[in-house]
């Protein structure tokens, strides 16, 4: 199933289907294929426009699974959800996983490394001719927070994404198939995330569709928590996530990636109602 990247007045909603045992956001409760499929169907019923299926945790410090293990986790879920008529995105940094997932029915490749982690990824995405989501990335989960150093985070993210777009186009990916993700939480501390959110219009101003993924990130869990205290658990961050989705909609993003679809849909309906009011 194809997916339009045309500008939108209200962002699409991408629902997260983690097929991992160690996800920060849900503790691996959808790890087994049947549980992941049930969760995907539930997200569709709740109104998700896209289902993002991933088999590798990208939380800080996470170890990577083998290619074989990632394929084992992802392919059955992609195949079944696509068979239901869902628009499925595969969340992977590996070219082989992306290629096999597209063969199984995935309509989007969502690479948090923007094609940097696997030198074959750009060729796969170019050949598949499906939307390719390129995130701002400075390194793998094991040490990415060591690289969270910025003088002007929004300007530097935009500059690095611009270079990446040029490289991906040179490797054969059509510009009309590119989507940008500023990479909230990846090689970014809390202050960087807030500044990036405030200046999200700069990323949108690059002229390509933008995906925002703030959902349940740690910086949201620190809201209202005394300094030095532990952040609120991920499942208690959905209201804050919906607030960031509202802000992202006002900035003109194409899509928001969330774990809890109903709260974000409500926030986006509020944004739409206000914009349409006389």
CA–CA gap between residue 191 and residue 54 (Å, rounded): 27
Q: Are strands 88-91 and 50-54 parallel, antiparallel or unpaired?
A: parallel
User: How far from 36 is each of 95, 194, 263, CA to CA, in Å?
Assistant: 22, 31, 20
Q: Please tell me which residue in 73, 100, 164, 217 is annotated as part of the active site.
A: 217
Give the helix, strand, coil percentages of the chain, each rounded to 5.
Answer: 45, 15, 45
Residue 223 has which token pair?
């809201």
CA–CA gap between residue 24 and residue 141 (Å, rounded): 12
CB 90 within 8 A of CB 104: no
CB 249 within 8 A of CB 268: yes
CA–CA gap between residue 248 and residue 271 (Å, rounded): 10
Q: Is 60 helix (H, G, I), strand (E, B) or coil?
A: coil
Q: Please tell me which residue in 73, 100, 138, 257 is annotated as part of the active site.
A: 257
* DSSP code, position 150: -
User: How far from 219 is each of 7, 42, 87, 149, CA to CA, in Å?
Assistant: 29, 27, 29, 16
217 flagged as catalytic: yes
CB 93 within 8 A of CB 56: yes
Nearest 5°: CA angle at 267, between 77 and 154? Answer: 85
147 flagged as catalytic: no
Q: Mutual orientation of helices 33-46 and 67-83 as an angle, nearest 10°? A: 40
**Would you name the residues annotated as active-site residues?**
217, 257
């Amino acid at each position: 199933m194809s997916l339009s990247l045309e500008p939108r007045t209200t962002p699409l909603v991408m629902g997260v289907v983690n097929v991992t045992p160690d996800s920060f956001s849900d503790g691996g409760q959808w790890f087994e294929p049947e549980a992941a499929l049930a969760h995907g169907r539930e997200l569709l019923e709740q109104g998700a426009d896209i289902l993002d299926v991933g088999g590798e945790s990208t939380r800080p410090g996470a170890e990577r699974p083998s290619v074989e293990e990632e394929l084992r986790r992802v392919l059955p879920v992609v195949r079944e959800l696509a068979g239901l008529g869902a628009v499925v995105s595969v969340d992977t940094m590996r070219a082989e996983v992306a290629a096999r997932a597209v063969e199984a029915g995935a309509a989007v490749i969502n690479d948090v490394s923007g094609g940097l982690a696997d030198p074959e990824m750009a060729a796969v995405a170019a050949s598949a001719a499906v939307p390719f989501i390129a995130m701002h990335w400075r390194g793998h989960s094991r040490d990415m927070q060591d690289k969270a150093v910025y003088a002007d985070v929004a300007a530097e993210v935009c500059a690095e994404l611009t270079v990446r777009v040029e490289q991906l186009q040179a490797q054969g990916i059509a510009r009309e198939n590119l989507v940008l993700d500023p990479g909230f939480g990846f090689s970014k501390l809390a202050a960087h995330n807030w500044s990036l959110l405030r200046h999200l219009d700069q990323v949108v101003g690059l002229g390509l569709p933008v995906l925002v993924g703030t959902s349940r990130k740690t910086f949201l869990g620190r809201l209202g928590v005394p300094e030095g205290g532990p952040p609120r658990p991920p499942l208690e961050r959905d209201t804050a996530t919906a607030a960031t989705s509202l802000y992202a909609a006002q900035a003109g993003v194409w899509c928001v990636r969330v774990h809890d679809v109903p709260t974000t849909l409500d926030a986006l309906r509020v944004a739409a109602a206000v914009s349409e009011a006389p």
